[in-house]
Every structure is written in C-alpha cells, then in structure tokens.
Structure 1
Amino acid sequence: MGHRIGICFALACLFVLYQSVPSRAAGVLITQEEASLPPPKGAVGVDRRGVTRGPKIELLSGTDNIQSPTHFQLKFLSFGGATIDVTSVKVIYLRTPNVDLTERLRAFVQPAGIDMPDASLPPGEHMLRVDLKDSDGRPGSTSFVLKVAR
C-alpha cells in the first residue's frame, strides 16, 4: 500500500510541476497596453553590419503584414568557436518607457535562437531590439520593426 501512495504522490507532483511550466506553444509577445505607449523619438530599426567576430542575430519570421498570432523566430550565429551565452539574451520593445520582454521569452530562448510558435501581438508597428553576447564576451545586437496587419 505504501508503494501505491508513493506512486500517487509522485504523479501528483509531476502534474503540479507540469501546470506551473509556461506553455511553449502560445504566448503574448506584446500587450495592447504596451503597444499604446508612445514610440521613442527618432527611433529607427537598424541592422548593424560590419566586420566583427561578435554574434549575429537573424530574424527568420517576416516583418511586413504579419498576422497575429505569428511564428516569431530568430536565429543566433556565433563565430570563431564561440557559443551563444543564452543568459545574456535581452529583448526590448522600444517604447517610452522601454518594455523588457526578456522574461516573457525566456522559455523560448535556445542557443540556436528564439522560437515562439504562436506569438500574440496587437495590430501596428512594433520596434524590437535584441542584444546578446557569445562565450568570449563579444556583443551582438539588432533592431527591427514588426508590422502587424489590422
């Protein structure tokens, strides 16, 4: 009988743990309230290109006429034998004030990139900046605008 109680307790613990883990299938990337914040003055999306051994960030999902929810995907590239430091990944929604989306995306960050299958965003233009470092401490950053259809 003690064995059965132990198994039931273990299953109950697993169920509680499963319920507390955020779903990797869907999530809110940007809320309507955050989208209503004013954009920063003079902000433009920038793709920094140049000769550097620092990591690169590529947006794999589209930027124009996106339907929400969308598959939000970024690819991280490292060079010279370095690896991506996933603890350094930071995603910022450029508004006044800026909104840190990092913790919201933490469950979707992997050494190869960010893969959020069903990211929910309100209609409009949303400028994001992604910063990271590689295992050698070299920084990488990119900014882009997601245009979500109404």
Structure 2
Amino acid sequence: MKRTFLLGLVAANLLAAGFLFSGPSRATQLITEDEAKLPPPKGAIAADRRGILRGPKVEFVSPSDSVGSPLHLVLKFDSYGGAKIDPGSVKVMFLRTPNVDLTARVKPFIQADGINMQDAELPPGDYTVRVDIKDSDGRPGTAIFTLKVAPK
C-alpha cells in the first residue's frame, strides 16, 4: 500500500514538473502594454556629453533594426583607467511621463561587461531607454537609445 502511494506521488510530481518545463521558455516582460501607452517625456532629453571623459561607456549593440518581440537586447560596458564597472550601479529607465524604472526586470541579465537579455518582450512601437552606470571610482556613464519593435 505504501509503495503504491509513493509511486503515485512520484508520478504526480514528475507530471507537474513536465508541465512546468515543457514548451518554449517564457520571455521576460521588459515593457508592458500599459507602460507603452504612457505619454512621451516632456522637454528635451539629455544628449551625450562632449570632451574627453574617463567615465565608463555604455554601447548599445543590438537589436540594430526594427525587430519583432521577443528581441535579444545586448549592451556592452567599457571602463577606463583600471576601474571596473559596478553592476549594482546599473539603472535602466524607459523614458516616459512618468519614467518607468526597468532595473528590476533587467537585473538578472546584468554583468560587469554589459547586459545580455535573450528574450525581452515588448509591445510594437518605439521605446527610448536610458542606461546609467558607474565604475569602481564612482565615475558615471550614460547611454540613451531607441528600441524599435515591429508589429507581429
């Protein structure tokens, strides 16, 4: 009787695990439908600074063109003068009124050399995003880029 019960329990757990891990992996929601409907920011958006700077650099790598969702979001971080990027300092903002903090959604994909988010889910549209970082010497770096998501 106990053996039959244990076998039934094991079978039920295997079946539950099959439901959890079957099918394609779920994409991470980067921007929701409601957030996409927020009005654009009012006024000017700060542009890149000019001159020779020792602060870290954020380079937007992909996607390079308008793509469907989910998309592969890749950013590269570079530091200078022997400083290291502080992954805990990374802030990602969707520029809207009011701005939407995306940092918690991107956090699992942040590393010292950049962000590599395989399946970022966004509704169709154009989204201006700002990424702020700091290096181990406290110097800031910022990049602003636009994600273009094509309709499905």
TM-score by length of 1: 0.79
Bigger Cα displacement from structure 2, 24-33 vs 123-132: 24-33
Partner of 1:77: 78
Cα pair 1:83 1:111 within 8 Å, conserved: yes
- Report the residue type matching 1:85 in the other structure: D
Q: Deviations over 1:83-103 (max 9, x none)?
A: 000110000000011000001
Partner of 1:40: 41
CA distance in 2, matches of 1:67, 1:143: 21
* Structure 2 unaligned spans of 5+: 1-19
Partner of 2:98: 97
CA distance in 2, matches of 1:68, 1:85: 29
CA distance in 2, matches of 1:36, 1:112: 32
Partner of 1:8: none
Partner of 1:53: 54
Partner of 1:10: none
Cα pair 1:75 1:113 within 8 Å, conserved: yes
TM-score by length of 2: 0.78
Cα pair 1:48 1:142 within 8 Å, conserved: no
Partner of 2:63: 62
Secondary structure at the aligned position of 1:50 is classed as: coil
Deviation at 1:118, TM superposition (A): 0.5
Q: Deviations over 1:13-41 (max 9, x none)?
A: xxxxxx9xxxx973011111100000112
Secondary structure at the aligned position of 2:104 is classed as: helix
Cα pair 2:63 2:71 within 8 Å, conserved: no
Higher Cα radius of gyration:
2
CA distance in 2, matches of 1:43, 1:70: 28
Q: What percentage of aligned pairs have identical amino acids?
A: 60
Work out whether 1:29 is the aligned partner of 2:30: yes
Deviation at 1:46, TM superposition (A): 3.6
- List, as ranges, runs of 4+ consecutive aligned residues in structure 1 with deviation greater than 4 Å: none
CA distance in 2, matches of 1:94, 1:67: 21
* Structure 1 unaligned spans of 5+: 1-18
